[in-house]
Amino acid sequence: MDRTSNQPAAVAAIRVDLSAIFISLELSKSSWLVTALSPGSAKMTRHSVPGGDLPALLHCFSGLQDKAHAREGKLYPLIVVQEAGLDGFWIHRALEAEKNITSHVVDAASISVPRRSRRAKTDRIDGETLVRTLMAWVRGEPRVCSMVRVPAVEDEDRRRISRECRTLIDERTCHTNRIKGLLFSIGVRDYRPLRRDCRERLEELRTEDGQPMPPHLKARLVRELDRLDLISDQIEAVESERDALIADASETAPQTMLGALRGIGPEFANVLTSEGLFRSFENRRQVAAYAGLAASPWQSGTIDREQGVSKAGNPRLRTAMIQVAWLWLRYQPDTALARWFHERVRCNDGRGKKVAIVALARKLLVALWKYATRGVVIEGAVLSRA
């Protein structure tokens, strides 16, 4: 029986005339491994260039083109793929600026690999797998991998504000907890390092038995407070940059429209815009999937169960949406989404709030996306300002 006769019509769109040189890059700090498959050759070739040496990489590409031209009499374009990782997108942008080079960045987690408990993994095997995956993707095979949509330089730079602010806040929390832990060891329980009079209060502290504070412990606490003051100043500077960015945005910009909603402050508006809503999505499923809030069913034969959200998207956007969902219940109680949440929890006799809040976060993200990009008003939402 001819198996091709039972294939769906969409398979006919798969390309088979691939006149190009396919190249994969395995990037590391010390060296870059180039794996290539050229027309007229049934064997993949491997080349190594020093890590970070872009001219050497382009020279290697020119050598591959020259060999293919000498063998086939034609100058073939280059199609390059690399995994998203530590090097960011600067190599991709540099290659895209060159002539006859098409560059792609692939999500490494989307590439199919053997499911053996002890599978072999080397740079050579990974390079060959990337080349085969790239060829299948260019042919048009569905669901073979997920290519990363590289953000613009401005969008990538804008989201550094919210990420730096989150890092500084975590560092402030670490210093605060360390100070409280050191004082707890001598019996002091009510000291608050973030108060303005924290240094004056430190001079008055005594141990639980009324003795003066040990000198080395006091000196360390002073240094911890100095670090805490530095981090607090940096947080204020980053927040000033964020506020200036929002103030310069137009009235129809997503961060401005989100910041006008009651319960969403400038930090959440900046996070939602810079981490997710700056992208273009075709439908609500793509929005939920990008945040990792899409469902992940497990179906096999008679087994049919739900595993919860996939958590395969942007973790910063997903965390922010969970927090915004709780704030939405507090500051927007009359909206249709808030009423849906309370009705669902009431039907479960008050149980399952954590599951319901994730579902609310998914619905709310889709609603905010429609509101910020298309102007679709959220039912019952109240603005904090005109």
pLDDT in tens, 136-189: 999 999 889 999 999 999 999 999 999 999 999 999 999 999 999 999 999 998
Same domain, 313 and 366: yes
Q: Which neighbouring-strand residues pair with 81?
A: 24, 104
**Which residues in 137-265 belong to E strands, given as ranges?**
none
253-287 pLDDT, tens digit each: 889 999 999 999 999 999 999 999 888 898 999 99
Between 295 and 331, whose confidence is greater? 331
pTM score, two decimals? Answer: 0.83
Task: Note the pLDDT of residue 18.
Answer: 80
Cβ neighbours for 143, distance < 8 A, ≥ 6 positions apart: none
Say whether pLDDT at 5 is over 60. no
Same structural domain for residues 62 and 89? Answer: yes
pLDDT, residue 122, reads 92
What CATH number has the domain bearing residue 61? 3.30.420.40
| Confidence tier at 13 by pLDDT (50, 70, 90) | low
User: How many residues in the chain?
Assistant: 386
Model pLDDT for residues 201-252, shown as the tens digit of each residue: 999 899 888 888 999 999 999 999 999 999 999 999 999 999 999 888 888 8
| Residue 51 resides in a domain | yes
Regarding whether 67 and 130 lie in a shared domain, the answer is yes
Instruction: State both tokens at 101.
Output: 């080079």
* Final residue before a domain boundary, out of 248, 274, 292: 248
- Residues 58, 185 within the same domain: no
Q: Which of 248, 279, 310 is the last residue of a domain?
A: 248
Based on the domain organization, do 131 and 161 belong to the same domain? no
Do residue 289 and residue 369 come from a single domain? yes
306 pLDDT exceeds 90?
Answer: no
224 in a structural domain: yes
Read off the tokens for 301.
């034969």
pLDDT band at 16 (very low <50, low <70, confident <90, very high): low
- Tell me: do 106 and 219 sit in the same domain: no
Residue 11's pLDDT is what?
45
Model confidence at 115, pLDDT cuts 50, 70, 90, reads confident
Is pLDDT at 113 greater than 70 in this prediction? yes
- The answer to whether residue 380 sits within a structural domain is no
Please report whether residue 44 resides in a domain: yes
Give the tens place of pLDDT for each residue, 60-91: 999 999 999 999 899 999 999 999 999 999 99
Antiparallel, parallel or unpaired: β 303-309 and 78-83? unpaired
Query: Do 171 and 96 share a structural domain?
Result: no
What is the structure's pLDDT at 3? 41
Confidence band for 349, pLDDT divided at 50, 70 and 90: confident
Please state, in angstroms and rounded to a whole number, the distance separating the CA atoms of residues 10 and 246: 45
Beta bridge partners of 223: none
Alpha-carbon dihedral sign for residues 319, 280, 339, 295: negative
The domain boundary, picked from 97, 115, 139, lies at: 139
In a domain, 149, yes or no: no
What is the extent of the structural domain holding 44?
3-139
Q: Are 115 and 58 contacting, i.e. CB atoms less than 8 angstroms apart?
A: no
What residue has token string 């606490």? 221
Q: Does residue 144 fall inside a structural domain? A: no
The answer on pLDDT for 351 being more than 90 is no
Pair (164, 289) in one structural domain:
no
Instruction: Check whether residue 260 and residue 235 sit in a common domain.
Output: no
Residues 217 and 259 in one domain: no
Whole-number pLDDT of residue 17? 63
pLDDT at 4 over 80: no
- Helix H or strand E segment including 308: strand 303-309
The torsion angles phi and psi of 36, rounded to 5 degrees, stand at -135, 150
What's the rounded Cα separation, in Å, for the pair 241 and 136?
A: 44
Residues 6+ apart with CB under 8 A from 338: 328, 329, 332, 380
Same domain, 360 and 277: yes
Q: What confidence category does residue 10 fall into, taking pLDDT thresholds of 50, 70 and 90?
A: very low
Number of independent structural domains in the chain: 3
